Chain A
Amino acid sequence: MRITLYIIFFLFTLNTSFIKKAFRNNSLARWVVEKSSSLNIQGETNINSFECDVTEYLRPDTLVYLKNDGAKKLCFTNSGLTIDVRRFDCHNKFITEDFRNALKADESPNLKILFITIDQFSNNSNSQVVKGIVDIELAQVVKRSEINYTVKTLPGNRIQMNGSHIFSFSDFKLKAPKKLAGLIRTKDQIKVNFQLFFKAIQ
């Protein structure tokens, strides 16, 4: 019995020292999303290709993360971006309206990108490719995705993160637009490109 208690005590001490060490290596920081951030979607129909953009990020969102200096890993705490789907401009009034309808913009107008983690992040990087995990919520469906970002540190504590990922309308239980009994149709896959600018705040 005594030996068991000694083992439990030893393990507890060991564990708390790990936690303390882990906390010593972690630091909390914030990124403010800059207005110049943009999102672009590329798609194809059986007529043409199209591009839809949101070129201005108007919400004052802040991403809060815990950085593990040893592992160079950023763990975000309930931090994300919210984009108004109704602001997508496809540079063609018919496609813009149809695209917004396909994304169910009237029912759920927000596209949410929730940052989960970013691996191998360095504060001084010049076009370094890092891996990140995000939850994307669209039309009330959440999809977890792994995204490769190209990170660039800019002067004035600013960070630029570019990335792209291929999604399908069906990932979010949406239907790609089809007209005229399916003779006119949009392909299910769309490529989402984003260019994010952050201002780091300690």
Chain B
Amino acid sequence: MNKVFIAWLIAAILMLVLGIGMLYTGIYFFPKIADEYFSPVFRKAGETDWTFYAHPFILAFALKWFWERYKGIFEGGVLLRAIEVALVYSIVALLPILWLTYSAIDVSFKMILTWFIYGLVQSFAAGLIFAKLNP
């Protein structure tokens, strides 16, 4: 149990750091896409800020549950298992929800694409931690 908790916590913190790092990398390399964050569809910073910082902890919790339930079907080395987790999460969860987001909210396709990449990288990092700590 303790091992599971530690793996969840490490994965969550790593995903938070990666999320912020990728956001700033995106700002640096693609400032025109990042300008879109000033669109009124995005909330102003304020009372709900904590929900943004909490998202990796929720994602790590969901991925951890998924890992514990289905880790038996992922075979191979740490890297391969992490890639599989990232692909399953991205195709099963991320792609449909981002599709729905694009259809309902006024955000550009490029912005949606950055979120897909962020999610893919975050879930890969979580997969690496889980495969290493709770094989």
Q: Which residues of A contact B (CB under 8 A)?
A: 45-48, 92, 94-95, 97-98, 101, 175, 177-185
Contacts and interface: CB of A to CB of B under 8 A. Distances in A.
Q: Is the interface of B mostly helix, strand, loop or mixed?
A: helix
Contacts of B39: 94, 97-98
B45 A182 contact: yes
A196 to B, nearest CB: 29
Contacts of B23: 180, 183
7 tightest A-B CB contacts, nearest first? A178-B45, A181-B49, A181-B52, A94-B38, A184-B37, A98-B38, A182-B45
B75 interface: no
Interface in B29-47: 31, 34-40, 42-45
A180 B52 contact: yes
B31 A48 contact: yes
Q: Is the interface of A mostly helix, strand, loop or mixed?
A: mixed
Instruction: From B23, B31, B44, name the one whose CB has the most chain A CB atoms within 10 angstroms.
Output: B44
Contacts of B43: 179
A47 B45 contact: no
B45 A185 contact: yes
Nearest to A178: B45
Contacts of A182: 45, 49
B53 interface: yes
Contact of B38 (A95, A181, A183): A95
Contact of A92 (B24, B35, B53): B35
Given A98-B40, A184-B27, 16 more contacts: A45-B35, A47-B31, A47-B35, A92-B38, A97-B38, A97-B40, A175-B44, A179-B38, A179-B43, A179-B45, A180-B45, A181-B45, A181-B50, A183-B23, A183-B24, A184-B34
